[in-house]
Structure 1
């Protein structure tokens, strides 16, 4: 649990060391990251070639790993927090302790780059996008999710969300939230035609999950589902080589 003896600024990376014991608790303060990891992994198709590489930027404790099992990727996780990386390694992730703006991997090495709940935590998300696109091989897939830079997002993600037991208090700095249109334009600048959709947790299941948690019980976790608006939480996916023949949103488990 967090160190009660110190108060950290919003979005301070030291929070992740204080919360190291929470990563793999299904009812802990990182619970929503588990739900998002499952949704993000559903956008990753099975590997199309031997030795396919998935680079997981801001991998934390490797929550994506169980949802990639059987898809055929070598899973490399990049993060700044050593306490999280130790846990990621225990879950089969090849870990790299590095900044997401300067990853010590070769250009064009990755079949997939995942950047889940990362961009809204970095000082310069454009540099992370540039690095993610650099890592992609031709035809490689970028998948991400982040928080939009809107008043509604700040209200729901910070003022309400951080009062729920699924999000740590102070984990977000709303000044870093990522405008969806600017993100799409930046990806296009680097050769990735990013498409977006809004997502949210299933409200009825969240309420049920909270009620069970209050009783000390653990049940089926809520799922992340598509929604009509990208104003709060949204996913993006796109390939480094543009494909103008498909414009639809992928069904779960498939990618254009």
Structure 2
């Protein structure tokens, strides 16, 4: 079924592909691994990692053993079912109105979710509100640039690499705006560009299985990570 851009029904259509490393969500696996590298081991008993837009729980294997209670928030029931089966305490809720006490989370992860929300300001405010003082925000998202629209939508969705219609170009996120929004809510965010390893992509194109590492790049014009501590 052809759906409008950013339609949540797409994730139900593709529900069986969440944990297929060669499926429609393959790149989300690579990004989850890269995001997890920004998350340090927990420093206290009862530490909480709040995973916004957790999807099928792809972050779970990469943070297992780091000492967190992994709580995932998403709106798609089929995705939450997968997340639960992979050890995530899954909650159906809107990331712009989190059912979480202020200062409850030691880490908030917002992986590939900010370019899907219709109220970026509210979502950033909620992510920062949920963090305790000294807590860590980690994220990755797509930049609001013509280059990103070409690479991530025109090419990736039409040629391959992303499900058709998964992104609405109107919702892409300007890095400077995101940094400013986080600062308004007490989080000093630093951003850097990332991309799939060219060697890894070449191996994949040649038919070799396995994940593609995400590596830093000089520009935030397409895909970027963010990391920041709440004051």
Q: Which of the five TM-score ranges fits, normalised by the shorter chain? A: over 0.9
Q: Does 1:158 align with 2:131?
A: no
Whether contact under 8 Å (1:11, 1:172) holds in the other structure is: yes
Distance in 2, matches of 1:165 and 1:195, equals 30
In structure 2, distance between residues paired with 1:210 and 1:118: 27
Whether 1:234 aligns to 2:229 is no
Matching residue within 6, 10, 18 for 1:15: 10
Note the aligned Cα RMSD (angstroms): 0.9
The DSSP-based 3-state class of the residue aligned with 2:187 is: coil
Alignment length (residue pairs): 231
* Deviation for aligned residue 1:211: 2.5
**TM-score (norm: length of structure 2):** 0.98
C-alpha distance in structure 2 between counterparts of 1:228 and 1:181, whole Å: 16
Aligned-pair distance for 1:164?
4.3
Distance 2:45 2:113 in 1: 28
Matching of residues 240-251 of structure 1 within 5 Å: 240-241=230-231
- Is the contact between residue 21 and residue 210 of structure 2 (CA under 8 Å) also seen in structure 1? no
Q: What residue number does 1:123 align with?
A: 118
**1:73-128 residue CA offsets vs partner (Å, 9 max, x unmatched):** 00000000000000100000001000001111111000000000000011111111
Q: Which residue pairs with 2:56 in the alignment?
A: 61
CA distance, structure 2, for counterparts of residue 144 and residue 77 of structure 1:
14
Q: Which of 32, 35, 38 is residue 33 of structure 2 equivalent to?
A: 38
Moved more, 59-68 or 121-130: 121-130
Identify unmatched segments of 5+ residues in structure 1: 1-5, 213-217, 242-256
Q: Deviations over 1:192-234 (max 9, x none)?
A: 000000000012211221221xxxxx52211000001101100
Q: Which runs of at least 4 in structure 1 moved beyond 3 Å after TM superposition?
A: none
Radius of gyration: which is bigger?
1
CA contact (8 A) 1:28 1:166 kept: no
Question: Scaled by the length of structure 1, what TM-score is found?
Answer: 0.89
Q: 1:201 aligns with which of 196, 200, 205?
A: 196
Gaps of at least 5 residues in structure 2 are none
- Helix, strand or coil: the match of 1:76? strand
